[in-house]
Amino acid sequence: MARWLPRSTDVTRFCQKLNRVKTLEDDMMETSFNRCLSTIDLTLLGIGGMVGSGLYVLTGTVAKEIAGPAVIVSFIIAGFASLLAALCYAEFGARVPKTGSAYMFTYVSVGEIWAFLIGWNVLLEYMIGGAAVARAWSGYLDSIFNHKIKNFTETHVGTWQVPFLARYPDFLAAAILLVATAFISFGAKVSSWLNHVFSAISMGVILFILIMGFILAQPKNWSAQEGGFAPYGVSGIMAGTATCFYAFVGFDVIAASSEEARNPQRAVPRAIAFSLGLATGAYILVSVVLTLMVPWHTLDPDSALADAFYRRGYAWAGFLVAAGSICAMNTVLLSNLFSLPRIVYAMAEDGLFFQVFSQVHPRTQVPVVGIVVFGLLMALLALVFDLEALVQFLSIGTLLAYTFVAASIIVLRFQQQKVDAPAPAAGGRPSPEPREGPSAGDLKEYESFSDKLQLVDRDKSKEHREPGQLKAAFEPYLEFLSDFYPGEVVTVAVVTLMVSAICLCSILVFGNTHLHLPTWSYSLLLVLFSLGFLLSLLLIWAHEQQRSTQTFQIPLVPLSPALSIVLNIYLMLKLSYMTWLRFAVWLLLGLLVYFGYGIWHSKENLREPRPQRVSARYVVFPSGSLEERVQAVQPSPQPAAGLPDTDTEDGKR
């Protein structure tokens, strides 16, 4: 029976495969894509991804049903929470200018299986998001023509009475996705030009809404007679924040496009900051205008802005706003179709997804196969599915990606700079290593037992300390932590911090409602988990971190990413159980793909040493004392200039 059980070495090697990180190449600016996007191009891509259906649909829905005029406060809080996540994306996008966004950031810092699951969820997020926007686009256009398209389809095609399917096939939504797919496949320049046109029209319409809206504003609509500024109280504001947060999820298109940026180290952080600032300002100002134009409780949640102008007697303005909303939704469609194939390309290029999706067209320099295949899948979703039940599913994948990116920032900031390994040769085997002796890269990776001994015996009184080492000021109190690898304690502390955050947020969300905890236990658990979170944060802060003036770095690390982690986990726990159930099913499908294909075809497999080499290096020790073994990997001391070599002189005698 025991012989059928896996050996501990096999289990260890398997776990190492799951958690191996991506090795970046020497020249990260080398790419198969065309680096043609400027800061303005990236900024408009980000604005297009954020200011779309959310501005024209979400604002009215939250104002009427969740927060009232206090939707303004909800957008401010949601904008701050998004800023924390956006800063993490900005640092990663500048340091790792490769396509893949959250997937790539997780792969280079946390591990392979976590990166695959993040990428797998981002794929579904973009597919459902694009299909949902296409249906909203179709519905908005249909409302302009008094629902004639819907009535014609139901009369001549028929209706469906199947759960989770749409009432009728939405051919218009599928058609707009197919047209957008065709334009995206022409290349990044064409996509950027189209986005410029639609973004310019959208921003012009938003400017018109603000000017005309402030002219028509009536302060009495915020008065107590109409329910006041915050009719749903603080709980309504926070519930509105959870919904408004999803209006800002489009900024990650900038990070996904960093491999096509001319100067990603400068352009990516600036574009993320500019686009998020402009989008937040637009949402706040439009919310002010909308709730001042008409009473908040009379808003039409489906087309609030256009309906507000119609009701004030400006039908022409309502038509103009409806046209602007369609242009804004076009930018969101382009953003989704632009980003999704690049995520797929990054996963396929690393060997974790099917290789056919890593092909880049030689003329257009875009992954045409991924664009066409996933464009067709989006069109199919928009055609047959009723996506209202799945819209909330979008949020969980996004929030999970934000959480892992924030954790990755902490882990990477407190790690030593690794020496980039050369790419595997075309024949599928890694490049041979030099035999002269241990290189600087070997010593930095701490691959051997002797290297670990050298690390333990390092002089702890050195003034210059490397990232991940304990700060000198804390060494007298936490000296036992100095014996660990640089960054090892921080990694454990990050895991503890995330577990504490999950427990803390669970008590906050479910403590009084589902768990029905008494006051004393509720308070005790809050204190315990808060202490665990704070102690983990302090332990991370007690270590040295990387400092760089070459690329953008998020300030106040580890505090800023830790706050982002807490906010994201809190918002995830506010989602319904059906969302978590669908999420679990999708994760299981992803694990089948990973263990059936990805783990065996990963390019990191080619970089791993053969088992024979590992066995010889770690198990078979040479004869001699341990001291001789340590000295064998240390460079021989050179005799001082002008002094004879004593060993040589003794030999001569």
Query: For 403-427, what is the mean pLDDT?
Result: 71
pLDDT exceeds 90 at position 496: yes
The segment with the largest mean pLDDT, out of 97-101, 371-375, 482-486, is 371-375
Give the residue range(s) of CATH 1.20.1740.10 domains in the chain. Answer: 35-413
pLDDT greater than 70 at residue 611: no
Lowest mean pLDDT among 218-227, 367-376, 431-440, 609-618: 431-440
Predicted local confidence at residue 494, as pLDDT = 95
52 forms beta bridges with: none
Q: How far apart are CA 327 and CA 329, in angstroms?
A: 5
Question: How many angstroms separate the CA atoms of 194 and 620, rounded?
Answer: 63
User: What integer pLDDT is reported at residue 542 of this predicted model?
Assistant: 92
Residue 247's pLDDT is what? 83
Please choose, from the candidates 125, 138, 141, the residue with its C-alpha nearest in 3D space to the C-alpha of residue 49: 125
Q: Which neighbouring-strand residues pair with 37?
A: 261
pLDDT for residue 392:
58
**583 — pLDDT class (breaks 50, 70, 90):** confident
Q: Is the pTM of this model over 0.75?
A: yes
Assess whether pLDDT exceeds 70 at residue 246: yes
CATH topology of domain 35-413: Amino acid/polyamine transporter I (1.20.1740)
Is a pLDDT exceeding 50 seen at residue 133?
yes
Share of the chain above pLDDT 70, in %: 82
**Contact indicator for 645, 639 with CB cutoff of 8 Å:** yes
Question: What's the 3-state SS for 126-193?
Answer: HHHHHHHHHHHHHHHHHHHCCCHHHHHHHHHCCCCCCCCECCCCCHHHHHHHHHHHHHHCCCHHHHHH
Summarised one tens digit per residue, pLDDT across range 59-78 is: 888 898 888 999 999 999 98
Which of 120-124, 391-395, 572-576 has the lowest average pLDDT? 391-395
d(CA 64, CA 303): 12
pLDDT tens for residues 183-240? 999 888 888 888 889 988 988 999 999 999 999 999 998 988 878 888 988 888 888 8
| pLDDT, the chain, mean | 81
State residue 278's pLDDT score.
92
* Residue predicted with more confidence, 143 or 469: 469
Q: For residue 81, what pLDDT is reported? A: 86
CA distance linking residue 92 with residue 552, whole number of Å? 9
Segment 512-540 shows an average pLDDT of 90
> For 185-263, where are the alpha helices, taking DSSP H only?
188-215, 233-244, 252-256
- Tally: H helices and E strands in the chain: 28, 0
pLDDT of amino acid 644 = 46
| d(C-alpha 336, C-alpha 348), whole Å | 18
pLDDT band at 5 (very low <50, low <70, confident <90, very high): low
**577: helix, strand or coil:** helix
